[in-house]
Structure 1
Amino acid sequence: MGAVSKSWAGVLYGRDRDFVNGNLPNRGLSVDTRGTPISTAFPINPTAANVGITQGGTLLGGTTTGATGNALDGNFGRPGLFIPGTTILANGGINPLNLPGGAGCGTFDGGMPYDYALWNIPGARYACAYDTGRAAVLQQPLETLTYYGRGTLRFGEHELYAEVTGSKANSAKRFSENQYTANNTTLPIAFPLNGLTANTYNAVYDQIAGVFPAIGAVGDRTVDAVGNYGKPITFRYRCIDCGRREYETETKTFRAAIGAEGPLGAGFDYRVGGSYARSESSSVLGTGYHYLGVYNNTVAGNAGSTAGIAGATVGMADSRAPTAPGAAAPGIVGLFNSGILNPFSITQTPAALAALDAVSAKGAVLYGGRYEVTQADASISGALFPIWGGDVQVAAGVDYRRETYSFNGSAAAATGQPAIFNAAFDNANALTPKHRDVKAAYAEILIPLLPGLDITGAVRIDEYSGFGSTTNPKISAKFRPINEIMFRASYNTGFRVPTFNQIFNGVTQSPNPGNARVDPTTCPSGIVGVGPCAAITPDSLSGGNLNLGPETSKQWSAGVVFQPIRNFTASVDYWNIAVDNVIGALTIDQLLNNQSYFPTRVTRTNGVITLLDVRADNIGSRRTEGLEVTVRGNIDAFGGRFTAGLDGTRLLKKREKFLPSSPYGPSLIGVFTFAGDLGVEWKHNAFVTWGNDDISFSLSNIFRKGYRNYQISATGAARPEYNRYVKDYSIYNAAISYTGLGPNYKLTLGVRNLFNTDPPFAITYDSNTGAGSSWEPRVADPRGRSFTVAVETKF
């Protein structure tokens, strides 16, 4: 595994990067995260009666400037809560570390000042940010046991075989700690003033009051109606001591197959077979997850009321969740509101750690699924008759396949169970077994028209239950006029049905808390501001689509192979792929920028976009063209043989459109996109080896050409340090193998990333989902130099 650590000042623009390679988590880029190990205080309106502990208001007041009639809501209308020397409200968060005279956001590991200018959130001048990506483990811990067996019986020229293979794998996905952001309904948490918290509370109060005197007087220790001292502090907090979030997954696979093959006579052979394969997995929660302790939605509250639980409404205490020793209320909400868990401290007391264990959800089932395939096939092949260039060869066959898929949710996510904070339950996608049958027949003929000229034609008919039938032809040709050169070309069509998930997944409505988007129809500049350029935070609908149709394609290629001498070969092939009725889902940005084509997918409330439908659909067409280059050569030298090679791809065209009536968009070559494959203009794998009967050495190179960086915001792109382009990625690997111990033994020592090269800086962070980091996993590997040992034996 490797780790990436960076200072914030240079992280956004690719400066001051220090990649530390070792058994550590990834330190990625989390540029718009104000939930920090030392909390950032936020304003929140008072809660309803019996919800949390802020009915009397909070230290920073509310966000409605007194609209509720409660004077406590008006704090942000007072001059003292404007950032000193400005007319900007400090409503984007106040972290004591980042206040004048504070210890600085770098006090905690991974901390950095929040870049309010970049994100165009001036009210967050005194907030801190946290590098959450560092906690994502790059290489999951994985243990795998694989077994395989095969038996063969021969009866003359006929062969009967049976084989069984399977595996069991246990893995753990580990990523950033949970972030707790107080609100006045589903997460009513605050830092109280009591005997446990007085020292910390007083320090935080004095630091904020020193800059914002409207809060109250520095040194005030009297809880009364005159000042705000004693009112709870609402916050956004990254709970480091809660532990990194973890999913523990067990996956089992099994496959059994039987078959027979042999001659039919008259120059024909047969092959028949059948198989059954199964893959099933189950995931449970590991560390980092805790019972919430309140009803977090209306459905849960109603279920509690139905069960006879008094006060079962959103935000109120859920007595079904465990209560930690010393806490006045259940779940982790009870730990915060009792002051047991201190969000303004880097370290927690032993009592707090024990309390976290008491409300831990470790071991709760997350989800699981099973996929099965039962298949039978039969084919014949052989020579029909000779013509000028040789024998005409034919093959034909039939195939039957039944695919079955099921997905189970979790009892822990049922409405009658206490909520677990931020667990990615997937009950909306729970699916009883669904199956589809696929019947196919195919035929192929090879016609050697002339010596050196072969024509191959093939056709395949597939019938999918629920989708009908499709016929797809293929034709190819090879022509070698002389031994040193060969021409080749092919054409075929394709057909792909959607996956079970793309069809049957449930519909989920999710918030998009990022505030870096605007409505392009009212704000062409794309810069967050006020009025028509005010930030929008619409919810999004995602999930399956029962009306999805199949994806179709046409592709052709043509190329030439050169072999001027026996030890050297080079080839160049042009390929062209056209895909229509593309199965996929629009990204939020794609939908926002193409609203005119999808008006029914955009919902507005009082003129403001509040909901975006990004469910799976057949969303247009894709056109790609490119060149494939292959070079191979070898020469005998120094008592062995040198071999070198290169496999490269040059992308010539990549364009998309979303509807048949819409035009194709701009070229996607060398341009960052969040979804799909990046359109890297050139990439190659190259190698050189030398070896003899006992020993061999190899050196290989992986290269990916750079591309245009993601533009986080128009404001960020205008800054002089902005890295407009991602640099080329190139690493080298080396290995040495020894077989001198005997023909049945081989020892290999390898070095991956020989020169310990850092991946190029790339902005891949999505502020609206929290995904991504400061390197591009579709192009680069963030792991540094590593060593491998492999021992092979045959018996």
Structure 2
Amino acid sequence: MKLNRLVGRLAALGLAAHACAVLAQSDTGAKLERVEVTGSSIKRLVDEGALPLEVITADQIRQKGLTSAEDVLRSLSANAANANNAVSSNSVFGQEGDRLAGGGAYANLRGLGPTGTLVLLNGRRLSNQGTSGGSVDLNAIPLEMIDRIEVLKDGASATYGTDAIGGVINFILKRDYQGVQGSVNFSTPLTGPRGKQRKVNLTAGWGDMATQGFNISGSLTHSSNDILRGSDRPWALGYQPDRGLAPDTSSSPFFANIIGQANSALTTAGSTIGTTDTTKYTVLNALALTNQCAAVPFGVSQLANPTVLSGLGYTKANSTYRCGTDYGRQYMLSAPSQTTSGVVKASFNLGKDATGFVEFVGSRYYSLGEFTPYQFSTTALGLNTTVNGKLYDHGADYPVDGPYYVNMKALYGANQFDPTKPIAYRLRMWDWGYRVLGNESVNDRLTAGVEGSFGDYDYRVSLARGKASGYQEMVDGYADTTKLVNLLASGVYNPFLLPGQTQTAAAMQAVEATKVHGRLAGGSTQVDQLLANISGPLMKLPAGDLSFAVGTDLRREFYGYSGTQTYSCVSSFSPANMAATNSVMGCPGNASAPDMTRNVGAVYGELLIPALKSLEFDVALRYDHYQQVGSTTNPKVGFKFTPNADLLLRGSYNTGFRAPTPQQLNLGTVQLATTGSFADPVKCPNPTGNNDPSCQLNSIPYLSGGNAKLKPEKSRQGSLGVVFSPARDMTLSMDYWQIKMIDRIHNLTPTQELQNYSVFADNFIRDASGNITLIQAGWINAGGSMTKGLDLTGNWTTTLGGNKLTTTLSATKMISAKEQLISSTPMIQYVGQWTNTTLYLPWKGSLTTSYKMPTLTTTLSANYSSGYWDEDHTTFTTVPELQRRKISKYVTFNLVGTFTGVKDLTLSAGILNLFDRDPPFTWHDVDNAVGTGWDPRVADPRGRTVQLTASYKFF
């Protein structure tokens, strides 16, 4: 009933506009073209800064050396430093990562997450990424065909509906392109051979709308990026104990760490070494005993761990003779990928004032996510265990009669080592190679519509279907659990390699036979959208035309996700895991989400009210109804006051909402395992420095998945700004904004539950002895948040030496970003603080200067990210100087020159990161967020990079 009443009122408003059409006719009969601005449905002659809108042109993108939509978004000051790219979301590690991100890249305006930013192409929606179903993958945007990008840094739920709390990013395609043009782009880091990027494009267009009445244009682009690993950069070290960084790992890549286990060669009590040392060591490694941990690839000593990571259970007894793996150095710094995207558009006149169009946009993105080799302990499979009718009398331990059995007593003086028993050990699976996941994402959209005018009224009608699909597959590094245990139990594989040794050919053949390749899971999304609106003058007022817009937005959204069905992903050699169907060690399993279709209906209206010649109000109202979620009505009121030609005051107030995604509502429950170590908050209320093994828990199962009871997020937000011109050809602006949210949709993690144990105690399942056996996590409606900030922009154009010099500034000061986990917990300030996901940097900005001569344009751009507090290591160590530190700021410069002195040929050369600035050091490792010793949410790992572009227009 509410929808019917609102439709009736908006229809009446439209009829009134038609009745007043005669009042809106121009006296002279001449018409100036009105344009539509992102954030408003009313076309107007010019945008005079009523909205905090940042426009980035294709020329600016090229002159800054940006080659992808992800590059452009990362350069925006309003886009938070976030974990929404192919490297940072490479999320085997950490509980907060989006395991369904599919290697994609996503926008994150104001730090409200990808689902709080609406991404449009020509003002219309694309289908969300196929596996996550939550937001648009930026890899689906064909940047080579983009004319400009309009970034609305204000809430826009009253105009566009859900997803627009943080703002709107509208990619506008080129129109009426004529001719044929080809271009190539190549970039390579100067600090090493890896990390190259290549791109080729062909764009063509035929027909002139003004004289021939039609235009057909298309563009096809293919790009490829090479992998860059931690081993390719000297600063990407996971073992820098003098700076507070050491790997939290118990596995070794070559000679396995021999660990204590009942009925094994090394008992749980450990063994003394030699005749004078009375310490009983619970972990033994021949490389550590001979001071050779670093003599093998990626091997490191753990002698520093009892100091750097004393709070995590490292002691003299378990670290002195244990080797570790610098898995941060093994980690992927830049993802290898292949992208093909294209656009085909046909426009044609349908009369004097009407244009029809058909538009197809398509992309295919394939990337590899590469992880360090998996690690396992043989102790999970007890001795004399029967699985599927087969007896494992030594479990997975190395058998006494095996050809590579190491007598630690005879060779290295381990007095309590019993060579008559099998050896229990922990190994990182170096011989199986890196775990590699392939991620494919396909996104297509077909749109047809009519745009035109009658009299002074503009209308737009379009029908679009967007479809996206994606899948994840195991490419390398994963092993069949049963085959792996059989290989280990046979003794054919040597887990005790010394420097210079390798596996036999027979062992490597056996290793290859255990590997599993195949598709894990896939998903798809679809959005069908009918958009229709009309806008124009409603009546004459003393100060100008009262203008209106009314419209409707009807959508049908689909999402489905298969989950991991063919394989059972496990993390240990337990009898139950071995008995599981197609059990695979270490793969990332996910539950399924049933196929779901929901309808969304919306009507909206907008009024542009000129109260005075110098004062204008913009009032909008939108009603949305979401199947399964409910209804919402959101208003927006804005004003623009121009007391003189050099000063403009503006502001807005609006409410917003974001409906939960189908994945968040319907994804099934999956059992995962925690990473790193944590202390039981009941048994160990003060874990710092407590090295009781019962205080340090590893790989605890937890449940995560959808929540059908989720409510929409709601927001109240406002902005107040000033735009002024202190000098000729100079414009400066400053906008204060704040966003208050309630019922935030949040993926509750075990880490957060541990930090707030008194609130979530019921989510920890314990056995009869009080040990944690399971943690319940997953999507919830969290508490509220308050985000505040200040946007600064500037533009100055002057003449220097008879040529044009243009300088632009864009910066964001994050004043506050407070969040509460649930309503009963306190607000926590995150600005300038390390987090697992989004970083709320106190300052982020860019300053660009371009000098344009007749045939040469030179651009120097500076990018600034302020420092912030590093990960809190108070519970990691008892050493005060290793508990808290500040990460330094990150400033880089790009220099790009473009030459157009040869007809139809454009040549561009640039140096990115001109002064070869290394990423600032951070002491976190990939157990908590991607990146070891550096942070991919802030820094570019390539270093100084040369970029070359050539473009030729054939005709």
**CA separation of 1:535 and 1:161: change in aligned 2, threshold 3 A:** closer
| Counterpart residue identity of residue 628, structure 1 | D
Q: Which residue of 1 aligns with 2:398?
A: 191
| Counterpart residue identity of residue 487, structure 2 | L
**CA separation of 1:82 and 1:276: change in aligned 2, threshold 3 A:** farther
| Counterpart residue identity of residue 785, structure 2 | R
Q: Which residue of 2 aligns with 1:225?
A: none
- Name which of structure 1's ranges 588-597 and 457-466 shifts more when overlaid on structure 2: 588-597
Q: Judge conservation of contact 1:34–1:40 (CA < 8 Å) in 2.
A: no
Matched, 1:337 2:525: no
Q: Judge conservation of contact 2:909–2:948 (CA < 8 Å) in 1.
A: yes
Matched, 1:587 2:745: no
Q: Which string of whole-angstrom CA distances, capped at 9 and with x for unpartnered residues, describes residues 415-450 of structure 1?
A: 874322212232x2x233211111111111101111
**CA separation of 1:256 and 1:205: change in aligned 2, threshold 3 A:** farther
Aligned counterpart in structure 1 of residue 875 of structure 2, from 709, 714, 725: 714
**CA separation of 1:148 and 1:431: change in aligned 2, threshold 3 A:** same
Q: Which string of whole-angstrom CA distances, capped at 9 and with x for unpartnered residues, describes residues 630-684 of structure 1?
A: 121121113422211221111111211233344323x222111113x21211111
Aligned counterpart in structure 2 of residue 143 of structure 1, from 313, 324, 338: 338
Q: Which residue of 2 aligns with 1:113?
A: 301
| Counterpart residue identity of residue 409, structure 1 | G
- Normalising by structure 1, report the TM-score: 0.81
Aligned counterpart in structure 2 of residue 738 of structure 1, from 868, 885, 899: 899
**CA separation of 1:191 and 1:20: change in aligned 2, threshold 3 A:** farther
Q: Which residue of 1 aligns with 2:327?
A: 132
Q: Which residue of 2 aligns with 1:391?
A: 545
- Give the 3-state SS of the residue equivalent to 2:922 in structure 1: coil
| Counterpart residue identity of residue 255, structure 2 | S
CA–CA distance in structure 2, aligned partners of residues 495 and 82 of structure 1? 68
The equivalences for 1:205-604 within 5 A come to: 206-208=410-412, 210=413, 212-215=414-417, 228-265=418-455, 267-293=456-482, 331-345=483-497, 347-362=502-517, 364-413=518-567, 417-426=581-590, 428=591, 430-512=592-674, 514-519=676-681, 523-524=685-686, 526-530=688-692, 538-604=700-766
* Greater relative contact order (CA < 8 Å, ≥ 6 in sequence): 2
**Overall identity of the aligned pairs, in %:** 31
Runs of 5+ unmatched residues, structure 1: 4-18, 47-56, 64-75, 216-227, 294-330
- Name which of structure 1's ranges 575-584 and 726-735 shifts more when overlaid on structure 2: 726-735
**CA separation of 1:433 and 1:177: change in aligned 2, threshold 3 A:** same
* RMSD (Å) for aligned C-alpha atoms: 2.8
Structure 1 residue 741 displacement after superposition: 2.1
**CA separation of 1:717 and 1:573: change in aligned 2, threshold 3 A:** farther
Q: Judge conservation of contact 2:873–2:883 (CA < 8 Å) in 1.
A: no
Q: Judge conservation of contact 1:438–1:464 (CA < 8 Å) in 2.
A: yes
Q: Which residue of 2 aligns with 1:327?
A: none
**CA separation of 1:575 and 1:520: change in aligned 2, threshold 3 A:** farther
- Name which of structure 1's ranges 152-161 and 182-191 shifts more when overlaid on structure 2: 182-191
CA–CA distance in structure 1, aligned partners of residues 86 and 530 of structure 2? 45
CA–CA distance in structure 2, aligned partners of residues 520 and 467 of structure 1? 39
- Give the 3-state SS of the residue equivalent to 1:425 in structure 2: coil
Q: Which string of whole-angstrom CA distances, capped at 9 and with x for unpartnered residues, describes residues 34-63 of structure 1?
A: 2111234343546xxxxxxxxxx32113x3
CA–CA distance in structure 2, aligned partners of residues 233 and 534 of structure 1? 23
Q: Which string of whole-angstrom CA distances, capped at 9 and with x for unpartnered residues, describes residues 575-601 of structure 1?
A: 111011010123333222223333432
Q: Which residue of 2 aligns with 1:51?
A: none
Q: Which residue of 2 aligns with 1:173?
A: 369
Q: Which residue of 2 aligns with 1:328?
A: none
- Normalising by structure 2, report the TM-score: 0.68
Q: Judge conservation of contact 1:517–1:528 (CA < 8 Å) in 2.
A: no
- Give the 3-state SS of the residue equivalent to 2:676 in structure 1: coil
Aligned counterpart in structure 1 of residue 907 of structure 2, from 744, 747, 760: 747
Aligned counterpart in structure 2 of residue 656 of structure 1, from 801, 819, 824: 819
Q: Judge conservation of contact 1:544–1:616 (CA < 8 Å) in 2.
A: yes
Q: Judge conservation of contact 1:581–1:621 (CA < 8 Å) in 2.
A: yes
Q: Which string of whole-angstrom CA distances, capped at 9 and with x for unpartnered residues, describes residues 65-111 of structure 1?
A: xxxxxxxxxxx27x748997455x533x2221112xx0421111222
| Counterpart residue identity of residue 229, structure 2 | P
The equivalences for 1:555-704 within 5 A come to: 555-605=717-767, 606-665=769-828, 667-675=829-837, 677-704=838-865
CA–CA distance in structure 1, aligned partners of residues 680 and 801 of structure 2? 66
- Give the 3-state SS of the residue equivalent to 1:596 in structure 2: helix
- Give the 3-state SS of the residue equivalent to 2:584 in structure 1: coil
CA–CA distance in structure 1, aligned partners of residues 379 and 683 of structure 2? 31
- Give the 3-state SS of the residue equivalent to 2:664 in structure 1: helix
| Counterpart residue identity of residue 809, structure 2 | L
CA–CA distance in structure 2, aligned partners of residues 108 and 770 of structure 1? 26
CA–CA distance in structure 1, aligned partners of residues 690 and 597 of structure 2? 48
Structure 1 residue 685 displacement after superposition: 1.2
Q: Judge conservation of contact 1:671–1:707 (CA < 8 Å) in 2.
A: yes
CA–CA distance in structure 1, aligned partners of residues 755 and 683 of structure 2? 8
Q: Judge conservation of contact 2:677–2:696 (CA < 8 Å) in 1.
A: no
- Give the 3-state SS of the residue equivalent to 2:488 in structure 1: helix
**CA separation of 1:739 and 1:771: change in aligned 2, threshold 3 A:** closer
- Name which of structure 1's ranges 494-503 and 185-194 shifts more when overlaid on structure 2: 185-194
CA–CA distance in structure 2, aligned partners of residues 151 and 437 of structure 1? 29
Matched, 1:60 2:266: yes
CA–CA distance in structure 1, aligned partners of residues 670 and 273 of structure 2? 38
CA–CA distance in structure 1, aligned partners of residues 616 and 581 of structure 2? 67
- Give the 3-state SS of the residue equivalent to 2:284 in structure 1: coil
Q: Judge conservation of contact 2:250–2:257 (CA < 8 Å) in 1.
A: no
- Give the 3-state SS of the residue equivalent to 1:117 in structure 2: helix
| Counterpart residue identity of residue 758, structure 1 | D
CA–CA distance in structure 1, aligned partners of residues 86 and 560 of structure 2? 36
- Give the 3-state SS of the residue equivalent to 1:276 in structure 2: strand
Q: Which string of whole-angstrom CA distances, capped at 9 and with x for unpartnered residues, describes residues 659-713 of structure 1?
A: 3344323x222111113x2121111111111112311111111111111111234
CA–CA distance in structure 1, aligned partners of residues 729 and 597 of structure 2? 51
**CA separation of 1:352 and 1:700: change in aligned 2, threshold 3 A:** same
| Counterpart residue identity of residue 318, structure 2 | A
Q: Which residue of 2 aligns with 1:70?
A: none
Runs of 5+ unmatched residues, structure 2: 1-84, 88-189, 195-227, 231-235, 239-245, 383-391, 569-578
CA–CA distance in structure 1, aligned partners of residues 926 and 336 of structure 2? 26
Matched, 1:32 2:248: yes
| Counterpart residue identity of residue 166, structure 1 | G
| Counterpart residue identity of residue 335, structure 1 | L
Structure 1 residue 717 displacement after superposition: 5.8
Structure 1 residue 543 displacement after superposition: 1.4
Q: Judge conservation of contact 1:474–1:490 (CA < 8 Å) in 2.
A: yes
- Name which of structure 1's ranges 229-238 and 573-582 shifts more when overlaid on structure 2: 229-238
Structure 1 residue 766 displacement after superposition: 5.6
**CA separation of 1:750 and 1:793: change in aligned 2, threshold 3 A:** same
| Counterpart residue identity of residue 738, structure 1 | F
Q: Judge conservation of contact 1:41–1:233 (CA < 8 Å) in 2.
A: no
Structure 1 residue 289 displacement after superposition: 1.5
